[in-house]
Amino acid sequence: MISEKMNEAFNTQLKHEMFSSNLYLSMVAYFEEIGLKGFANWMRVQVQEENAHAMGLFDYVLSRGGSVTVSAIDKPENQWKCALDCFEAVYKHEQLVTKLINELVDVAEQEKDRAAVSFLQWYIKEQVEEEENCSDICAKLRLIGDDKHALLLIDQELGARTYVAPVIG
């Protein structure tokens, strides 16, 4: 059985994961509008991943006898100056999500909820990967500067990304 405090903390994280999904969906629209379909594809995969992350939390709470609360989420940003500006926002957001996951683990440790601590290890590893991926793309975008040909090569590279459903927990 999940404690009330742990249940509430999971529901809060569920809300954050759904915000992440909406933020990345907003970025899909931005990249589609400026003609970078590969970047848009990369973000579409992010949307699917964030939805899977949210559903992992959702299912975990229910499996522990908890109660899921689906909350309203804030409207995400929808305009950026350029691809680099957008990916810097992604990187900053993923750093925030890492902080939030760490705080969720803190609650699990305080509650002595070993099952939750174990479950959340997957999310910790996932955040390391998320931050690394965003950092790498930002580095490439900084490297190319205003080179439109190089931007199109990165667009092509990001367009090859495909969604693979994660095995959470």
| pLDDT tens column, 60-72 | 999 999 999 999 9
- Judge if pTM exceeds 0.75: yes
- pLDDT, position 28: 98
pLDDT of residue 23: 98
pLDDT tens sequence across 106-133: 999 999 999 999 999 999 999 999 999 9
Q: Does position 30 have pLDDT exceeding 90, yes or no?
A: yes
Residue 160's pLDDT is 98
Tokens linked to 8: 């509430």
The predicted structure's pLDDT at residue 39? 98
Q: What percent of the chain has pLDDT over 90?
A: 99
Whether the predicted pLDDT of 95 surpasses 90? yes
Token output for 49: 């991943």
Q: What is the DSSP string of 82-132?
A: SHHHHHHHHHHHHHHHHHHHHHHHHHHHHTT-HHHHHHHHHHHHHHHHHHH
Cα distance between residue 86 and residue 135, in whole Å: 12
**Residue 38 CB coordination number (10 Å):** 19
Task: For the chain, list the domains and their CATH numbers.
Answer: 4-69+81-159 (1.20.1260.10)
Report the pLDDT averaged over residues 36-47. 98
Q: Is 113 left (phi over 0), alpha (psi -120 to 50) or beta?
A: beta
Q: Rounded CA gap, 46 and 64, in Å?
A: 27
Confidence at residue 154, expressed as pLDDT on a 0 to 100 scale: 98
pLDDT of 169 over the 90 cut: no
Mean pLDDT of the chain, nearest integer: 98
Among candidate residues 162, 90, 103, the one with its CA nearest the CA of residue 131: 90
